Amino acid sequence: MATALSVSILGLTAPIAADAQNVLRWTSQGDALTLDPMSQNEGPTNAMNGTIYESLVSRNPSLELVPELAESWEPGPDGWTFKLREGVKFHDGADFTAEDVVFSFERAMAESSDFKEQAKNVASVEVIDDHTVKLVTDGPNPILANQLTSIMMVDKGWAEANDIVTPQNYAADEETYAVRNANGTGPFMVESRAPEELTVLVANPDWWGKDEFPGNLDRIEYRPISNAATRVAALLSGEVDFVLDPPLQDLERLRAADGLKVETVAQIRSIFFGMDQGIDTLRSSNLEENPFKDQKVREAFNLAIDREAIKRVAMEGLSFPTAMITPPGVMGNTPELDEPYGYDVERAKSLMEEAGYADGFSVQLDCPNDRYINDEAICQAAVSMLARIGVDVQLDAIPKAQHFPKIQNRTSDFYMLGWGVPTLDSHYVFSYLLAKDGSWNATGYDNERVNEITQLITTETDLEKRAALIDEAWQIVREEMPYLPLHHQVIAWAMSEDFDIPIAADDALRPRYVVKK
């Protein structure tokens, strides 16, 4: 049975409910940004919304494609046909039908949606009957099912009634009904939502999958705790059952603690810095020009970063240094492309001199302090490393809720970002981060051939040809260095032995698989 949390650690003013049999109390360093399932394509936000809402196709903890709101699907030369589950209802009791699929894809294509890159591969949605739809594409699309796992289905009538036909514009700090309220078809419903404080979810008694999955939770209580030591203390004291992101330096301590266990897995996420080479003058520099336009400067930055030192000191050995912004396990990653650029301060200094910046320059590094593993510590290390080649970096480390709009609004010169690949295909990386019109491409990078390949691989069905195209694009990116790749993360989850919580390489908690013993 649930018990009250201690005021000494979490500072609560009231005990949690104790009437639910199987309660999971958990925490991580940063809250979901919004409950609008199409506003922010951010890992923790998608994971939270994926507990409430559902997609046509999903992934299990092993990241295998599995049916969700679609029971089956069939590819064709000009689109894919999906057979929808019958008898599915939204949390408010409304029926889920093909019309909701049409509406959801239209909503995902809105300007304020952060899922346009995935949704735009669907030219239209044809309703065959109430429970059959055809997602029409411009030619064959070999990866369409992979692209659908994050496009969640929204009730058309509910959205119209609450004036949320278009997604929240997060970058513009818009507030809508969908930010704190939700109406999905998923296994859990929102009981209460206080951003950055407490989100309470309760089991959906009418969920279609309640007899098909092992999960037995009645209630989920999530409290973000930004302080790493406090998260550990809460787990050790039994005040929470699960910590999604325990600090790496405490893993052995947690493993040794009675009643606790730690799981680790290589994540499908890469951490990197972006450099805006698309503007004429940097916003935060002492120069009246943009040194990032010069490939020699970008190479110098790459060579000045000691990735092995970051792995050893900041990541406690739990990272894989890289020269790619997509990890192993994703179509397009190869050992040759994944090989880091190396660490060579003298060569970096020479490149800076050749580029005309022997005396360096100043620039601001924008960094989140509550999103990635030891993100601020990594940025602090980079500041020191770049100082060795004459670059004066001012660090601005802030919560992700303020950090991400800087990137989306294109107001950052130099920034940290991490990118997971839920489709397990490089097209996802190209379309968001490298294509000219990519919504998260704040570097200004614009290579005609990379843009062309991004389009070609959506219709190329010959797997060898498609792999060759992807490899060609990554070779170009490796040479031109629009980004400064750091490493692929290894994630750790720490939990009470009273729970079976299968860890997933996308770092997403999937409560339908969580078992309270």
Tell me the C-alpha distance between 57 and 84, whole Å: 10
In this structure, what CATH number is given to the domain that contains residue 368? 3.10.105.10
**Both 309 and 222 in a single domain?**
no
Based on the number of CB atoms within 10 Å of its own CB, is 35 exposed (0-12), middle (13-18) or buried (19 or more)?
Answer: buried
**Both 130 and 71 in a single domain?**
yes
Beta strands in 187-258 (DSSP E): 188-194, 198-203, 219-222, 242-243
The C-alpha angle with vertex 278 and arms to 274 and 282, in degrees rounded to 5, equals 75
What are the pLDDT digits (tens) for 13-60?
A: 333 444 568 999 999 999 999 999 999 999 999 999 999 999 999 999
Q: Is residue 256 part of a domain?
A: no
Q: Which pLDDT belongs to residue 408?
A: 96
For residue 273, the surrounding DSSP H or E stretch is strand 260-275
Q: Is residue 257 part of a domain?
A: no
Cα torsion 105, 433, 144, 99 to 10°: value is: 0
DSSP symbol at 475: H
**Both 206 and 352 in a single domain?**
no
**Both 405 and 288 in a single domain?**
yes
Q: Which pLDDT belongs to residue 50?
A: 98
What are the pLDDT digits (tens) for 324-370?
A: 999 999 999 999 999 999 999 999 999 999 999 999 999 999 999 99
Question: What are the phi and psi torsion angles at 214 (to 5°)?
Answer: -75, -20
SS3 of 300-327:
HHHHHCCHHHHHHHHCCCCEEECCCCCC
Residue percentage of the chain with pLDDT more than 90 = 95
Q: Is residue 258 part of a domain?
A: no
Q: Which pLDDT belongs to residue 19?
A: 56
**Both 344 and 422 in a single domain?**
yes
Q: Is residue 342 part of a domain?
A: yes
Q: Is residue 409 part of a domain?
A: yes
CA distances from 87 to 39, 271, 392, 394 (A): 28, 42, 61, 56
User: Which residues neighbour 143 within 8 Å (Cβ) at sequence distance 6 or greater?
Assistant: 423, 425, 427, 458
**Both 150 and 65 in a single domain?**
yes
- Would the CA dihedral through 360, 374, 512, 49 be positive or negative? negative
Q: Give the chain's domain count.
A: 2
Helix axes 448-456, 463-480, angle to 10 degrees: 160
Q: Which pLDDT belongs to residue 20?
A: 63
What's the mean per-residue pLDDT of the chain?
95
Beta strands in 403-467 (DSSP E): 414-420
Range of the structural domain that residue 44 is part of: 7-241+498-516
For residues 388-410, give the mean pLDDT.
97
What are the pLDDT digits (tens) for 404-451?
A: 999 999 999 999 999 999 999 999 999 999 999 999 999 999 999 999
**Both 79 and 224 in a single domain?**
yes
Question: What are the phi and psi torsion angles at 256 (to 5°)?
Answer: -80, -15
Question: What are the phi and psi torsion angles at 440 (to 5°)?
Answer: -110, 15
pLDDT tops 90 at residue 7: no
DSSP symbol at 313: I
In this structure, what CATH number is given to the domain that contains residue 192? 3.40.190.10
Residue percentage of the chain with pLDDT more than 70 = 96
Question: What are the phi and psi torsion angles at 203 (to 5°)?
Answer: -60, 140
Tell me the C-alpha distance between 357 and 369, whole Å: 30
What are the pLDDT digits (tens) for 170-213?
A: 999 999 999 999 999 999 999 999 999 999 999 999 999 999 99
DSSP bridge partners of 177: none
Tell me the C-alpha distance between 418 and 238, whole Å: 31
**How many CA atoms are closer than 13 Å to the CA of 63, on its beta-carbon side?**
19
pLDDT tops 60 at residue 135: yes
**Both 66 and 140 in a single domain?**
yes
Q: Is residue 318 part of a domain?
A: yes
